[in-house]
Every structure is written in C-alpha cells, then in structure tokens.
Structure 1
Amino acid sequence: MGQKIDPRRIALIVEDDFEVRGLAAALLEETDLRVVEMSSAEEALDYLRSHADEVAFLFADVRLPCLMSGVDLARAVRIKWPWVRTVLTSGLAPDEGLSDVPRDVRFMPKPWRALEVLMEAERAAQGYRPA
C-alpha cells in the first residue's frame, strides 16, 4: 500500500505593491508552500472560495485597493477558514486603524524581517488542517 501524499499547500500573498508582493513571494518560495499572489482582498476571497482547503498561510497588507482592507479579509478568513494561519502587515503605526486586527491574527510591521515571515510560514505548513 502506498502512503497518501497531501497536495502541496499554499501561501496566499495579498499585497497591492508589485515590488513588495514580489519580495514576499520570493521569500516564501523558499518554503514547502506553493505561492499564490493577489493584489486585492476581493481577489483573495474569490480564490479562497474554491481553493481554501489547500491554503495554509495568508500574508496580507492592511491597506489594499477596492472596498475591503486586509483587516476585513483577515476577519472573513478567521470565520470561514479558521485553519488558515493569518499574518497582517503594514507600514502604519500601531495606533492607525490596527486596533481592529482579530486577536488570533499576527501583525508584523513593515519592513518585516524575513526570518519572522519564514517562521510563520513554517508554523502554517506544520499546523495545516483543512476542515
């Protein structure tokens, strides 16, 4: 009998700044997670609706274009897909609208440290449990 191999899990990056998103993607490609990039919370939600069972890690900026912020996205993800380890990041000062960050969501100020991002991704990969 063969051993069941889980599909490769996903790190979903949601960042509207192309260069910052590319830097995060390059960093996360060094992990065991497959990287998917989005530029808005709405795009990320559309993706999650059909691929949430594969997503282990969400790394999103607080300020995003369109109607939803990264905080809105994090709230939706925590309710609908609680197994997705979620990290929000921002260049904002902690007192600038970040009081609404859900309790179980990690916040990393920009510029973030590569090692911290990698450690969160590793925790996501190890703790991944789809519903």
Structure 2
Amino acid sequence: MGQSRPYRAKALVVEDDPTQREMIGLLLEESEFDVVACESAEAAELVLQGSGDNVVLMMTDVELAGRMTGVELAHAAKKYNPDLDVIVTSGKPLRQRLPDGAMFWAKPWAPLDVIRVAEMKATALSGGSGSR
C-alpha cells in the first residue's frame, strides 16, 4: 500500500487568507506533499531556519500578515536553500525584483497550475538522485 513511502516532499504555503491557504495546502497534499502553512513571512522564515533543507517548494502571496512581504521572503528563502522552487503570487502587478529562479503568478491562477508544478517537482524528486 502507499502508506509505506519513506519520503514525502515538503511544501511551504504562505498566505494570509485562510481560505486560499487551505485550498493551496489541499492541492499540494493531493499531490503527495507534506504541507506547512503559515500566515506570515516571519513564521515561514522560522520554518525555513529550522527545516529549510527539507522544504522543496514554497508558494507565497506578496501581501502577508506581519512586516515582511512575500518578495522579501522569497529572497530570504533562496538564501536558506538556493534550490528551493519559489512561486510568488499577487493580484497586483509585481513591483519588486524576485530572486533568480523564482516564478511570479498573477491572480487569479488556476488550481490546476498548482497541481502541475507539484507533480513536476515530485517527478523530478523521485526520478532524480533519490530521496534526501
């Protein structure tokens, strides 16, 4: 059965809207990710400090609870883990530069987009050099 799988990739969802946060989390869980959900960039940064190497995908809104923006979090996250896949999303035009390798998704985006990225990442992890 599928329960004996030794490694599940970890995704970090950073969104101050509880409905959006829950929806993204459910989509990623359906794609075989363990999800850590945070309301603020400050909370997400604590997760990255503690287990940043285990997080392989982060999706963050630009506007968050707290003082730090999602763009600032994206830069911090890439410092903790340069290989981290980062998606920054907003309903407004992006005015700040993202770190190299980060993607920007304008809202509204389709839930299928989240599933596609998650499945591509999961395939890359399982077909790559093995689990960490």
Residues of 1 paired with 2:28 and 2:67: CA distance? 27
Q: Is the 8 Å Cα contact of residues 57 and 125 (structure 1) preserved in structure 2?
A: no
- Number of matched residues? 124
TM value normalised by structure 2: 0.83
Give the root-mean-square deviation of aligned CA atoms.
2.0
Q: Which amino acid aligns with 1:85?
A: D
Q: Which residue of 2 aligns with 1:24?
A: 24
Residues of 2 paired with 1:125 and 1:46: CA distance? 24
| Identity in percent | 35
Residues of 2 paired with 1:50 and 1:93: CA distance? 32
CA shift, 1:6, in A, is 5.1
Any stretches of 5+ residues in structure 1 without a counterpart?
none
Listed one character per residue, the Cα deviations across residues 5-31 of structure 1 (whole Å, up to 9, x for unaligned) are 753221110000011111111211110
Q: Which residue of 2 aligns with 1:35?
A: 35
Listed one character per residue, the Cα deviations across residues 14-65 of structure 1 (whole Å, up to 9, x for unaligned) are 0000111111112111102111100001100101111112111100001112
Q: Which residue of 2 aligns with 1:109?
A: 106
Equivalent residues in 2 for 1:7-22 (5 A)? 7-22=7-22
Residues of 2 paired with 1:53 and 1:7: CA distance? 14
Q: Which residue of 2 aligns with 1:123?
A: 120
Q: Is the 8 Å Cα contact of residues 8 and 54 (structure 1) preserved in structure 2?
A: no
Residues of 2 paired with 1:18 and 1:28: CA distance? 15
Any stretches of 5+ residues in structure 2 without a counterpart?
none
Q: Is the 8 Å Cα contact of residues 11 and 35 (structure 2) preserved in structure 1?
A: yes
Residues of 1 paired with 2:6 and 2:71: CA distance? 30
